[in-house]
A and B are shown apart, each in its own frame.
Chain A
Amino acid sequence: MDISNFIIMKHELLLTIATLILLIAEIAIDNKKKIIPFAVGLFGLHTIYGFFGNVSGEIFGGMYQNSVLIILMKNILNIGVFIILLQASTWLLKEENKARISEFFILLFSTLIGMNFMISSGDFLMFYLGLELATIPMAALVAYNTDDAKSSESALKLIMSAAFSSAVMLFGVSLMYGQFGSLYFADLLAVDMSAPVTILAFIMFISGLAFKISLVPFHFWTADVYEGAPTNVTSYLSVISKGAAVFIFSILLFTVFKSLVSVWSDILYILAVLTMTIGNLFAIRQSNIKRFLAFSSVAQAGFILLGLLGTNELGMATVIYFVLIYVFTNLAAFGVVAAVENATNKVEISDYDGLYHTNPNMSLLMMMALFSLAGIPPLAGFFGKFFLFTAAAQNGYFWLILIAVINVTISLYYYLMVVKAMFINKNDNPIERIENNLYTKASFIICLVGIFVLGFYSSIFEYINSVSIGL
């Protein structure tokens, strides 16, 4: 192994360098406002460069691995983070946050480094390191609004539940180590996993991951944390953090735990039914739009499990494709919510009454995003959901699909309630016209293009599918 092998870790190294540059910039730049274009530009370059000159392979004796598929996942996360950075500018420029702008970027980049390591891990130790690196700065981000008790409370809830889930997960990992004497994924591929204690270890392990993806019944932290965190951090939690967890979850299920497929199919079946149904039923009752989107994202996670039940390359491809669409769609919705909250501090769904008359463009974007989440053609979400169902249908899970599509109909009800608020409800005192800055507008345009193009432009799905075959 020589120094050039480190190029395999390109994504992580570049991000680390970017973080270090920001630390220095923090000292060097006096006008803190200028850090935003600097950091966004830096990350934009990183995002673009992430597509080129990638090398697959493994280093550190297999602890760290990289493949075309993993690089694709990292790039999807990068795009999402880039959109979030654009959207966060309004919030960061507020008076109370001005002095701490660079902290936001440094913490955010650190969590992203953690997620990248997590996805690329080749053994459980590396996986755990990445996971914790992703979680702890996240709690700091959630607590970013230091003068808001809710923000601190959310951070505490997040760190407590994360610690708890990590403990459960580590217990599973140690049981695994106790039996097989190795933490390397490659070694575990060769062993016989049929012993009951292995299955116990496996269940503990995926319970830990289920916390991250907020699958029911491990979802209780979600709504509270989403509500209390600053909205731009909430969007990071709901899209990037969840996306990364889904990625590693699917990689592990499809490689390390492939031999347990009959066990995890049953577990996922139950989790999918619970997650979709309970997520939906709770979403109906919410009046706060952030809690509403929190439960909607819980329900969306349930649909993702249907793709995993496809248990083959197509299943993998549909999951990645769905997450990609979900990134654009959910960020569009959260972007609008953040823009409204930053301008007016209003977060109730009833505050959105009559929004179309004052802010037509944002309302239309929100409507597109919600319809895409509900899976209405011709928007991308339709293709994402349809393909997930196709993957599940391959293995004959038609009853599950029936439950899922009924849930889609229920979800349409609450998405339409928001559309109704914006377009139909009358309001004497609607939210005034909001002037977004250029960053936010750019992020909206990117999201809108994504919502329309990702579905129709079939080459994207075909590419993901071709990459997944190399799993």
Chain B
Amino acid sequence: MDILTSLIIIPILTVIALLLVKDLKQVRLISAIGMFIELIQSIRLVFMYMAERASGNNAEMVFQKSYQWFESINIQYNVGVDGIAVVMILLTGIIIFTGVFASWKVTYLSKEFFISLIILSTGVFGFFISLDLFTLFLFYEVAVLPMYLLIGIWGTGKKEYSAMKLTLMLMGGSAFLLVGLLGIYMNSAPEGAPLTYNILEIAKHSMPIEAQRFFFPLTFVGFGVLGALFPFHTWSPDGHASAPTAVSMLHAGVLMKLGGYGALRVAMYLMPEAANEMGWIFIILTGISVIYGALGAIVQTDLKYINAYSSVSHCGLVLFAVLMINKTSFNGAILQMLSHGLMTAMFFALIGMIYGRAGTRDIRKLGGLMKVMPFLAVMYVIAGLASLGLPGLSGFVAEMTIFVGAFQHADIFHRIATIVAVSSIVVTAVYILRVVGKILFGPIINEDHAKLTDAVWHEKLPLIVLLIAIVGMGVAPLWLSNLILDSLQPIVDKLVIAAN
């Protein structure tokens, strides 16, 4: 079996194995083993990809496999990856693996929990390897719907409301997306030639500009809803705050990246003229996302809400970079997706662990945790520093690249937009440092908290994995950039040609 298909077969097999067992220990063991193999496969894919490029394969997509599925509509099972997809798959592999460990304590209907979680990850892996818009959309929806059960059954707080809101908003987004994809399909080939869902084929042909004007906004908003584009971001704070730990990790860490990735790969790449023409509308909206998310995080008192608003801000930055249309900013967008994915997963894992011990996520009721649980507290500080863009950690690399890219535009509009977006860094520092100061340092507010314990092995393991990734990315960013940059070339070329 080829390596890409194995990425979706492994989770499916894991789910089937889970269906056959009952015992909690077996459930954990099977999930952990399955996702460990998945992680190994994702890492293997990176090295295989580098070897393939080193051997001189310059194709836009490598490891391509294609089977005819629905012949009359020309739907294919068509998979392949480039550098962007490879790093996104690696990110997903890391987060689902750590997510399983973050869910170690789930005991209520644990089997159903892990099944839903792993089905969700199947959708994400499938999304990143798809080259066919139909299967891409199919996997996209597979990734969204399990969220309803995951939040509704295992969530906290006003979980039923949040679950419904999140599901309906995301499915509403995918409704727009569906119309956009059908529109692309109907305009995918010149008059007389067979229509196709194949992204690479469609990219060779340029769609009529009238069609682009109609379908670009639909597609971009469709993906944008998942990427927390203002004003469609409101599902995100409620959803993340109510979701169980691993689901928040996976959702903020990976699922929101589907939005950014799809916007770049489908909306921008396939409809470049409209992207250049209408980009300014979305630049304004993403600019609002960036600032609004950051300001929203300042006034929140619930740790999860703070992090959820911060995700709106950071994911807004991804879409912002995607709209800046040059190689540097695209590179920054991909790096930001990775960086945000890793650190937000770490944040949510830590918050879940703190909540599991202290029983509250309200920063007004927490204090002095550094003395009580030093390991978790140090990790929290590191994640926080990554988030506010300290050099040496992943956040700096990503944000720096984005802003350098954005500043290459010399006109007033882009300059102002960039300056506004840059100012979010300051706000980020405010809310991160405020939380760190409040809950980690300072006196212990609640005497009961003094007796709490520090992390145990199944909590340390995911945190350390994430830490290695964050530091690795911060210290050696060139390694990642090299993976990404070549693959961005065809997309940049198409968009730049369209601009002139």
Contacts and interface: CB of A to CB of B under 8 A. Distances in A.
Interface residues of A, number: 32
A458 interface: yes
B27 to A, nearest CB: 16
Nearest to B154: A424
Contact of A390 (B69, B175, B185, B218): B185
B420 interface: no
Contacts of A409: 168, 171-172, 175
A458 B168 contact: no
B148 A416 contact: yes
Contact of B182 (A378, A389, A416, A458): A389
Contacts of B72: 314, 317, 461-462, 465
B167 A420 contact: no
B176 A416 contact: no
Contacts of B182: 389-390, 393, 398, 401
Among B69, B139, B168, B175, residue most surrounded by chain A Cβ atoms (within 10 Å): B175
A422 to B, nearest CB: 11
A402 B167 contact: no
A390 B197 CA distance: 12
A360 to B, nearest CB: 9
B179 interface: yes
Contacts of B164: 413, 416, 420
Contacts of A406: 172, 175
Contacts of A416: 148, 164, 167
A402 B145 contact: no
Interface of B is mostly: helix
Given A314-B72, A377-B142, A465-B72, A412 B185 contact: no
Contact of B141 (A314, A382, A393, A396): A382
Interface in A424-469: 424, 458, 461-462, 465
A376 B141 contact: yes
A319 to B, nearest CB: 14
Contact of A423 (B149, B185, B218): B149
Given A412-B167, A416-B167, A423-B149, A389 B138 contact: no
B152 interface: yes
A305 B295 CA distance: 47
Contacts of B160: 420, 424
B185 A393 contact: yes
A113 to B, nearest CB: 33
A372 B164 CA distance: 18
Nearest to B170: A409
A317 B71 CA distance: 13
Nearest to B186: A393
A424 B153 contact: yes
B178 A458 contact: no
A402 B214 CA distance: 12
B148 A419 contact: yes
B479 interface: no
B185 A377 contact: no
B347 interface: no
A401 B164 CA distance: 23
A386 B137 CA distance: 10
A16 B164 CA distance: 50
Interface string A377-391: 110001000110110
A420 B168 CA distance: 14
A394 interface: yes
Interface in A81-104: none
Interface string A399-418: 00110011011001100100
A390 B73 contact: yes
B134 interface: yes
B70 A377 contact: no
Contacts of A387: 73
A371 interface: yes
A398 B214 contact: yes
B178 A405 contact: yes
B70 A462 contact: yes
Interface string B86-103: 000000000000000000
A44 B73 CA distance: 34
Contacts of A413: 164, 168
Contacts of A396: 186
Contact of B168 (A377, A378, A412): A412
B472 interface: no
A419 B148 CA distance: 10
Nearest to A375: B141
B71 A458 contact: yes
B183 interface: yes
A341 B142 CA distance: 32
Nearest to A461: B70
A416 B185 CA distance: 30
A398 B179 contact: yes
Interface string B132-167: 001000110110010011001100000010001001
A412 B73 CA distance: 26
A408 B175 CA distance: 8
A306 to B, nearest CB: 11
A61 to B, nearest CB: 35
Nearest to B69: A458
A275 B173 CA distance: 23
Contacts of B168: 409, 412-413
A371 B138 CA distance: 14
A420 to B, nearest CB: 6
Contact of A394 (B69, B172, B186): B186
Among B141, B167, B171, B185, residue most surrounded by chain A Cβ atoms (within 10 Å): B171
Contacts of B69: 458
A314 to B, nearest CB: 7
Nearest to B169: A409
Nearest to A456: B69
Contacts of A376: 141, 145
Contacts of B142: 377-378
A23 B336 CA distance: 75
B71 A462 contact: yes
A458 B152 CA distance: 34
Nearest to A357: B109
A312 B153 CA distance: 45
B71 A424 contact: no
B391 to A, nearest CB: 43
Contact of A377 (B138, B148, B183, B214): B138
B90 to A, nearest CB: 25
Among A382, A424, A461, A462, residue most surrounded by chain B Cβ atoms (within 10 Å): A424
A413 B171 CA distance: 10
Contacts of A314: 72-73
Interface string A43-66: 000000000000000000000000
Given A390-B185, A402-B218, A409-B172, 18 more contacts: A314-B72, A314-B73, A317-B72, A377-B139, A378-B138, A396-B186, A398-B179, A398-B214, A401-B182, A402-B179, A409-B171, A413-B168, A420-B160, A420-B164, A423-B152, A424-B152, A424-B153, A458-B70
29 contacts: A314-B73, A317-B72, A376-B145, A377-B138, A377-B139, A378-B138, A378-B142, A386-B134, A390-B182, A390-B185, A393-B182, A393-B183, A398-B179, A398-B182, A398-B183, A401-B178, A401-B179, A402-B175, A402-B176, A405-B175, A405-B178, A406-B175, A408-B171, A409-B175, A412-B167, A423-B152, A458-B70, A462-B71, A462-B72
The 3 A-B pairs at the shortest CB distance, nearest first, are namely: A405-B175, A393-B182, A377-B138
